Each structure stands twice: as C-alpha cells, then as structure tokens.
Amino acid sequence: MNKIITILFLLLSISVLAQDKNEIAWTDSLKLTWNDFKGHSQKNNPSAAISHCSINFDISVQNDTAIIHVFNTFNKQKSWVKKNSDNDYILNHEQKHFDISEIFARMLRKQLLEEEFSYANIQKNLNKIVETNYHEAEKYQNKYDNETKHSLVVEKQEEWNLLIANQLKEFNNFTESELKVFVKR
C-alpha cells in the first residue's frame, strides 16, 4: 500500500496519453476496481497492494500564453494486489492514494494559475513549483500510510477518508486539466 508518485515531464498531447489502456485518468465518477491492478505483486514487499499514480503535465507556449495540461493518472501495469488481499476495505485505501494524487494535481493547477511567468523565468519557476509539489505529495502520501498503518488502523483510515473528501472539495475549482497562463515578454 505504499504510494509511488512520479512526476513525468511529458511533451505528449493528452489525447495520446488517454489512448494508453494502461493509464486511467482520475475522474470524480470513476473509482478503481481490483481489475485495474494488473501488475505482478512483489513477494518481499509487505504491502497488500501498491497503487502507482502520477501527476503528469505538458506545456506549450504560444505568443503570450502558456497552455499547460496537468492530469493525474493511475498506471494499471505498475499497480498490484497480493492474492487474498483484494477486499473492499483495502481497495478504498488504494483509491484514497489516487485521490491524494488528485488533490496535489489540483494544488499544482492552482499554483500555476497564481504564478506570474515571464519568458525569462517560466522554465525555472515551473520546475521549482513542480518539484515542490512532488515532494509535498510524497510526504503527504507517506503520512497517510504511516498514520493509517497502511489501512490497519480503522479509526485513522476513517479520519483520512473524511479529510481527503474535504480536500477534494476544497480544491474543486481546479479540476480542469487545461490551464491558460499569461506569459510576460
């Protein structure tokens, strides 16, 4: 149940990624099922399951506008569950990892929309914002697993379920994957 978060610097269009049958884009209406966990479990790993989620983005600049796509995906081939661990309770824990990744995708969108970019600083500032978001997300995912003991502490899991739901609502204004940001010359 450890969370693996990677930030991929993609120069791909969303349509190409969306066609990848190994990736699931996060949506409010779509929930993970055990059929989405296609990877091979690791015998030496004590976790019952692993969810591999990524916050991906691409950017293009046209005149004075940067078009940035930020999206959260679940990789089916890199996610796995051990035999006899595929119950609804553990699936909920894994879904919350995907939801946390979405919270940080929304936070990244918010930060990018609030940033003042110029042609001189866009790459440096973008890299700094993304790197900070990545490290904060990683710490948060670890805190989630540590406090819930990978879902074993039922009361803590219930607290986190509410916290995650509230944070998704808090950043509900940042669900659109495509951002248009002004870039000063």
Tell me the two tokens of residue 84. 């006899």
Calpha distance 169→173 (Å, rounded): 8
| pLDDT reported for residue 2 | 35
Q: What is the mean pLDDT of residues 14-37?
A: 81
Rounded to the nearest 10°, the torsion over CA 92, 106, 6, 128 is: -150
pTM across the whole model: 0.88
pLDDT digits (tens, 9 = 90+) for 73-123: 999 999 999 999 999 999 999 999 999 999 999 999 999 999 999 999 998
Amino acid identity, position 29: S
Sequence-separated (6 or more) residues with CB below 8 Å from residue 142? 3
SS (H, E, C) 96-107: HHHHHHHHHHHH
pLDDT digits (tens, 9 = 90+) for 117-172: 999 999 899 999 999 999 999 999 999 999 999 999 999 999 999 999 999 999 99
Calpha distance 168→166 (Å, rounded): 5
> What DSSP designation does 30 have?
-
